[in-house]
């Protein structure tokens, strides 16, 4: 047996998913007296509640209880950053569907009748439904943010070229296959055991206690796995879990709440839409000398995680490029939508897309290839390697990745072929683009960069591991199993990762920021190291007693392939199980808690400076697209990805994460189009009206690889996180579309929104103006955004 780290160990739920044995919340059998919880929501996006009559609904057979904010035993206001979100609306409703009444019923038919029986009168107010309206009304959430370095205004004055514009991206639905779900079991002493589909069991525990007036010690939250999450269950799983908890606490009966897909999409937040104004200075060669970006995100009606999402967008505004003079500002706009929330990439995609849009426009203005602009401005290895917020980009492989991928993907040859194709084809257009990513790994908020773990070793040599990490399909449990098996030098089949529970792991951070394995794996290995140290000390004494010429020396004890021996006398050994039994008889503890806090991370928003990230995961992608000139239909012909992910703990899982993240990002930039009515109603709230990528949308040729790199010595087993960074590489599909449009833009800088749906592309193909004869040389017209 050798170490399992670095091996393609199958995902621990792979067989269960295929056979149907994997257990999700709604697979748990109904208890004998279990209730169903649901809610009645606001009929308008913005309005005052004038009257609420529940009398008729209460008479419906099968209805056990109707609860409003007045039935809460604690505080109705909560939030992860700002306490500005209501579990149940009180006098004012601020988005369509905002929960007002929690309904507890014996069955769903009775609940449906109760919803229809609730009588509400409202004074409808004018909703704010756009970023422009929010800015006009000065409606913001949280404080403004700023990151700056150098002298932007001076650089603008001295610039050979100046360019400015507005970049817009729409939101994205998480579209996890398992909707928001929770089951709550009441116990004695007003305790609650909550089974929740959540990325953040500790926050579910905290919010339930806060809203219901309980102590956190009275609430246990358990998460076995989620059927997808992608950030949508980092904070917003608290709402349904708290609703069900209120019913369970009031009725003393188990309570289940499962959102259907339509309601889930209607009332949960999305990826943040952004509207960003930018101005850039650059030389005639394309070297960027100054950048100014003003970010405005749509936060919805309450803050949720929006301030932190904005912060990460700003920290990724320059992406992979060194720019000596930078000013980045940002505000979160308050609108009458559900609070937008975390989504894979957490603001990084919005910041990077803005930068890559700028690069494409610089290339067009200078009539150069965007690849050359990118490599010219790329962060350096020993110099030109300081970010606008002051962190040094250490061990930067991006210049090498640009070069290697350009050669592997035959970028220049394909570019020439595309140029020739576009000159002769009357029916189609092609485009190609290579974009990089430099994604910071760590939570923006310093105190979140911590984790604890519990490792219990049993006398038969098997091990149970409990951490704060939650499994949502990304394979964190499998990687932790590998790390623990390696730390104890035992077979991976002897290790199991237990359901995440606040009873075993307290005050944990969400499984987010791509750091689940980094944090929780380190904590688990720390626990193993403590146990192993005790066992080594005992083993050294054991072997010394049996061999009088040996002096007890723990540093000479070797754990290898399930055997333990003193390397000075390796002929005598103990099996792991034998050692455990002997140690137990000597009353040596075989259980331990581990802890890890990420070193060296800090950031101060008052100065806009610091080291918010432990390291960066980097990479590049080349995407080639084909566009039908008559319909705007988009086909992704080929994608080539090359990344620096350190030394993978599990190459197969990491490759799956890279491909899956890229396709999800591709959906954001192409097909996933959230459509709303003029009253704020989400119209695209089901698979029939909201198009995530399907098998026909995948690149016809899709190559994924990573470089050899054992240089990331600051992280566990020299690995790098891969959960989020590859999603940002999908921006290359969007910039490839923008590149294709440049061939038919009649001298105008092509503009393009995210998502570049077929309709958006067709609109752009038909709205370009002819060159203006009064336009001065070096000046370019910008088609509206």
**Any idea which residues carry the catalytic annotation?**
724
Q: Please, are residues 406 and 434 in contact by the beta-carbon 8 Å criterion? A: yes
Give the separation between CA 412 and CA 732, rounded to whole angstroms: 16
Token reading at 213: 């007036």
Sheet arrangement for strand 463-467: 495-497, 463-467, 450-457, 591-597
Cα 320 to Cα 393: distance, rounded to the nearest angstrom: 10
Of the CA atoms within 13 Å of residue 727, those in its CB half-sphere come to: 24
Q: Are 535 and 235 in contact (CB under 8 A)?
A: no
Within 8 A by CB and 6+ apart from 416, the residues are none
Work out the angle between the directed axes of helices 306-315 and 348-366 (0-180°, nearest 10). 30
**Dihedral of the CA atoms 106, 111, 112, 113 (nearest 10)?**
90
How many Å apart are CA 461 and CA 492, to the nearest integer?
11
Retrieve residue 25's tokens.
Answer: 């919340």
How far is CA 155 from each of CA 115, 276, 288, 327, 389, rounded to the nearest angstrom? Answer: 61, 21, 10, 11, 18
Give the tokens for residue 565: 């021996």
Nearest to 202 by CA among 210, 405, 514: 210
Sign of CA dihedral 755, 761, 767, 769: positive
Q: Cα separation of 108 and 102, whole Å?
A: 13
Query: DSSP character for 362?
Result: H
Q: 656-660: which pairs have CB atoms within 8 A and are 24 or more residues apart?
A: 656/475, 657/474, 657/475, 657/722, 657/723, 657/726, 658/704, 658/722, 658/726, 659/702, 659/704, 659/726
What count of residues does the chain have? 785
Q: Give the C-alpha separation, 25 to 179, whole Å.
A: 10
CA separation for the pair 42, 46 (Å, rounded): 8
């Amino acid at each position: 047996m050798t170490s399992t780290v670095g091996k393609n160990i199958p995902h621990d739920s792979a067989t269960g998913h295929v056979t149907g044995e994997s257990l999700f919340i709604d697979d748990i059998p109904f208890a004998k007296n279990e209730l169903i919880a649901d809610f009645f929501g606001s009929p308008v996006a913005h309005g005052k509640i004038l009257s609420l009559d529940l009398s008729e609904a209460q008479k419906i057979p099968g209805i056990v209880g109707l609860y409003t904010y007045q039935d809460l035993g604690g505080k109705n206001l909560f939030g992860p950053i700002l306490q500005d979100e209501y579990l149940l609306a009180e006098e004012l409703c601020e988005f369509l569907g905002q929960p007002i009444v929690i309904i507890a019923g014996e069955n769903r038919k009775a609940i449906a009748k109760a919803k229809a029986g609730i009588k509400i009168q409202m004074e409808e107010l004018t909703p704010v439904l756009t970023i422009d309206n929010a800015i006009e009304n000065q409606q913001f959430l949280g404080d403004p943010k700023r990151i700056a370095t150098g002298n932007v205004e001076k650089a603008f004055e001295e610039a050979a070229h100046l360019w400015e514009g507005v970049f817009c991206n729409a939101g994205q639905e998480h579209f996890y296959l398992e909707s928001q779900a929770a089951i709550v079991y009441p116990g004695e002493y007003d305790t609650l055991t909550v089974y929740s589909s959540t990325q953040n069991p500790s926050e579910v525990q905290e919010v339930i206690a806060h809203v219901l007036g309980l102590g956190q010690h009275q609430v246990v939250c358990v998460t076995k796995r989620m059927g997808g999450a992608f950030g949508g269950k980092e904070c917003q799983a608290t709402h349904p879990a708290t609703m069900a908890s209120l019913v369970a606490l009031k009725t003393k009966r188990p309570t289940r709440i499962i959102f259907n897909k339509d309601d889930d999409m209607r009332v949960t937040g999305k990826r943040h839409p952004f509207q960003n104004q930018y101005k850039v200075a650059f030389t005639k060669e394309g070297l960027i000398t100054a950048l100014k970006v003003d970010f405005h995100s749509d936060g919805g009606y309450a803050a949720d995680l929006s301030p932190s999402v904005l912060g990460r967008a700003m920290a990724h505004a320059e992406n992979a490029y060194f720019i000596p003079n930078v000013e980045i500002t940002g505000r979160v706009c308050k609108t009458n939508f559900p609070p937008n929330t975390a989504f894979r990439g957490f603001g990084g995609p919005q910041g990077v897309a803005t930068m890559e849009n700028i690069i494409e426009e610089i290339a067009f203005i200078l009539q150069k290839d965007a690849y050359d602009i990118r490599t010219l401005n790329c962060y350096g290895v020993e110099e030109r390697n300081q970010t606008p917020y002051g962190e040094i980009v250490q061990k930067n492989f991006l210049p090498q990745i640009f070069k290697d991928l350009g050669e592997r993907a035959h970028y220049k040859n394909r570019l020439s072929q595309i140029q020739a194709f576009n000159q002769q084809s009357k029916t189609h257009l092609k485009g190609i683009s290579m974009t990089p990513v430099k994604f910071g790994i760590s939570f923006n908020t310093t105190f979140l960069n911590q984790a604890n773990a519990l490792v219990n070793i049993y006398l038969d040599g098997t091990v149970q591991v409990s951490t704060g990490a939650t499994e949502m399909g990304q394979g964190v449990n499998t990687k932790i199993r590998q790390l623990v098996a390696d730390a104890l030098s035992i077979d991976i089949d002897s290790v199991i990762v237990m359901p995440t529970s606040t009873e075993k792991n307290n005050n944990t951070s969400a499984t987010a920021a791509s750091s689940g394995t980094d944090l929780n794996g380190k904590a688990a290995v720390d626990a193993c190291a403590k146990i192993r140290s005790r066992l080594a000390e005992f083993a050294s004494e054991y072997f010394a007693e049996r061999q009088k010429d040996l002096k007890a020396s723990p540093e000479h004890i070797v754990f290898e392939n399930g055997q333990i021996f003193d390397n000075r006398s390796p002929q005598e050994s103990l099996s792991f199980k034998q050692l455990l039994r002997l140690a137990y008889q000597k009353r040596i503890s075989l259980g331990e808690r581990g802890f890890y806090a990420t070193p060296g991370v800090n950031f101060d928003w008052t100065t806009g400076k610091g080291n918010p990230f432990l390291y960066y995961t980097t990479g590049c992608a080349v995407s080639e697209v084909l566009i039908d000139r008559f319909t705007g239909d988009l086909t992704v012909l080929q994608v080539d990805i090359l990344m620096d992910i350190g030394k993978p703990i599990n190459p197969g899982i990491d490759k799956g994460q890279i491909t899956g993240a890229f396709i999800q990002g591709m959906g954001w930039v192409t097909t996933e189009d959230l459509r709303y009515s003029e009253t704020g109603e989400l119209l695209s709230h089901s698979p029939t009206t909201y198009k995530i990528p399907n098998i026909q949308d995948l690149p016809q040729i899709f190559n994924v690889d990573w470089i050899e790199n054992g240089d990331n010595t600051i992280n566990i087993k020299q690995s790098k996180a891969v959960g989020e960074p590859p999603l940002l590489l999908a921006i290359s599909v969007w910039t490839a579309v923008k590149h294709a449009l440049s061939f038919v833009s009649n001298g105008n800088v092509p503009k393009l929104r995210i998502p570049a749906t077929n309709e958006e592309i067709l609109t752009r193909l038909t709205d370009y103006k002819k060159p203006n004869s009064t336009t001065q040389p070096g000046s370019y017209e910008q088609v509206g955004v």
